[in-house]
Amino acid sequence: MTLATTDRADKEAEPVLPASRGAVAVRMQAVRKAFGDRIALDGADLSVAWGEVHALLGENGAGKSSLMNILAGFYGADDGLIEVDGAPAAFAEPKAASAAGIGMIHQHFKLVGPLTVLENLRLACGRKAGWTSNEAALSASQAMAQDLGFVIPMDVRVDQLSVSEQQKVEILKVLLGGARILIMDEPTAVLAESEAAGMLELARRLADDGRAVILITHKLRDVSATADRVTVMRAGKTVIDGAPARGLSAAELARAMVGGETAVVRRGNASFSAQVVLELKGVGTPAAEHDVPLRDLNLRLHKGEILGVAGLGGNGQSELLETIIGLRAPTHGDIIMHGETAPVQPADRREAGLRFVPADRFHLGLFGSLSLAENLAVPALSGRRPEKRYWVTKGWMRGRAEGSIRDYEIAGGVADTQARLLSGGNAQKLILAREFEGDFSILIVHSPVRGLDVRAAAAVQNRLLAAAARGVGVLMISEDLDEVLALSSRVAVLSHGRLSDAMPIEQTDRAELGRLILEGH
């Protein structure tokens, strides 16, 4: 292993771009990474050449981001070979990766809002670029911006820029820092259609200049439009390793991403009542920044069924959940619970038998600084008929919590432990324990087993099946197609805020679902 002995003068003297177009820029082989008992990467391979746009494709949780975070030095691999430009490169920290010319453009920008564009650029790469004055920084930044065809005012506060402008600042930041290997994490996800095309053109241009560009995406269109080669990941493994993008059809890529013709594990009893517990009629939500608006969404959830909503994350999943539980008001359309128009307030919907399990366990699910017992007690104390009106003792909460902790096998905490100290699986069990308390008839779950190990996932899924068997209508929004196919009675696909018609599970075809998920309908 070569130690970093480069000093700054040495670095500046280097040409920014290597002449050896086509030579291997990044090689990653048999990379493994586990977070606790969850395996994120299970022997992943990736090989990227100078001068190419290399698409990295995969479902949410397939391991794309983990692999790139390892390359960019955010965390270390447990095992495997990593080479940059032919030399072993296991970066201990992002700074080291950046010094080696690796720049990552994150999906969530890492900019300082109240500072101006120029201040952000100076902050991020002023030292590396060796700028000594504001004028030097300004002229270098402007030259780079002009070269890339960006029109960005340097003296405007970053938080006053649009999302696409902010993304351009990120790119400037990375390039001015001397990046030769660019990792773009779903760059088109936050952009409008027209801007997305421009962004892809830019990726192409940067590669044509001799850089290596890794494009993380799950849009097939991005791949066919821009990429030279494509690597597809699934469940922590590489399933297609750097095949030429032109040689692959959309169907082939889709199949590789969502898994081959694996046998579908069907749930035991797919029959359900004809009684509709929840209906959405032409529901639409307003378009706001960072949100995917729902468009004329129709849905009927029956008593005792699990209706799976498949689709890739960021297609309106959270918006759907929040609209149904009452956190978002639809601009048009009706939400009908048990044959009557749903009340406006979330509290009243809950009272009417609606429960939910959100994808983000701490954003909408739990109160991290409250104890397990307090978390379990909150809904019981907040409705129209709270179990206790005035006095709430620790003993009472502890007493009612202990049963749940036992039944739901919540490990790693006792009744008085703060919820934020729980692992993902146990946090999820705590949410289930709370939501399954008392009578309910409608359950909305979003990615219920995300991040859970196999055992915890099975426990959660069994709870969902048991609830459906009891007559609860379960709407399962999931980004994991296997899970949807394994548990659902019917399946619909959510794409760009639109929901397809629900198909009975017997009639679904995996390839067709894959196409709907990737291309919309």
Partner 1 sequence: MPYRLVLSPRLAVPRWLTAATLIGGIVFGLFCCAIFLIAFGVPASDLGNEFVLYVFGNSAGLDQTLTRAISLTLVSMSVALCLRIRFWNIGVEGQLWMGALAATAVSIYQIGPWFLRMPLMIVAAMVGGALWCGLAAVAKVRLRADEVITTLLLNYVAYLLAQDLLYGHWRNQADQFPTTPIFPKFEQLPNFGGWHLHYGVFIALVVVVFCWWLCRYSRFGLLSKAVAENRTASRALGIPVARITLTTACLAGAVSGLAGFSIISGEEHKLTQFVGNDFIFPSIAIAYLGRANPIGVLIAALAVAGLYTAGDSLKAFYQLPDTVVVTMEAFLLMTVAAFDVFVRYRISILRQRPKAPVAVPVEGQKA
State the nearest-atom distance from the C-beta of 295 to partner 1, in Å.
Answer: 23
Is residue 388 close enough to count as binding partner 1 by CB under 8 A? yes
Q: What are the tokens at 203?
A: 């990726």
Smallest gap from Cβ 92 to partner 1, in A, equals 5
Number of shown-chain residues binding partner 1 (CB under 8 A): 56
Q: Work out which of 193, 261, 389, 439 binds partner 1, going by CB under 8 A.
A: 389
Nearest residue to 82 (alpha-carbon basis) of 36, 33, 38: 33
Q: Check residue 391 for interaction with partner 1 (CB under 8 A).
A: yes
Single residue of 86, 260, 282, 286 touching partner 1 by CB under 8 A: 86
CA distance 331 to 469: 34
Query: Pick from 16, 87, 156, 466: which binds partner 1 (CB under 8 A)?
Result: 87
Instruction: Provide the mask over 410-429, with x wherever binding to partner 1 is found by CB under 8 A and - wherever it is not.
Output: --------x--x--------
- Which of 325, 335, 442, 460 is close enough to bind partner 1 by CB under 8 A? 325
* Between 213 and 373, CB nearer to partner 1: 373
Q: Which residues pair with 42 in a beta bridge?
A: 32
Binding mask 130-159 for partner 1 (x = CB under 8 A): ------------------------------
Asked if 346 touches partner 1 (CB under 8 A), the answer is yes
Is residue 120 within 8 A of residue 112, CB to CB? The reply is yes
Return d(Cα 103, Cα 168) in angstroms, integer.
Answer: 14
Alpha-carbon distance of 153 to 235, in angstroms, equals 43
- Local structure of residue 128 (DSSP, 8 states): H
Which CB sits closer to partner 1, 88 or 149? 88
Task: Report the alpha-carbon distance of residue 70 to residue 28 in Å, rounded.
Answer: 10
Count of C-beta atoms within a 10 Å radius of residue 404: 20
Does 393 bind partner 1 (CB under 8 A)? Our answer is: yes
Of 349, 348, 362, the residue nearest 431 (C-alpha): 362
Residue 352 as a binder of partner 1 (CB under 8 A): the answer is no
- Residue from 259, 293, 314, 379 that binds partner 1 (CB under 8 A)? 379
Sign of CA dihedral 117, 120, 121, 126: positive
Q: Of 4-43, which residues contact partner 1 (CB under 8 A)?
A: 4-6, 10, 14, 18
DSSP string of 252-294, one letter each residue: HHHHHHH-SSPPP---S-----S-EEEEEEEEE----TT-PPP
- What residues make contact with partner 1 under the rule CB under 8 A? 1-6, 10, 14, 18, 84-93, 96, 99-100, 322, 325-327, 346-347, 350-351, 356, 358, 363-370, 374, 377-379, 381-383, 386, 388-393, 418, 421
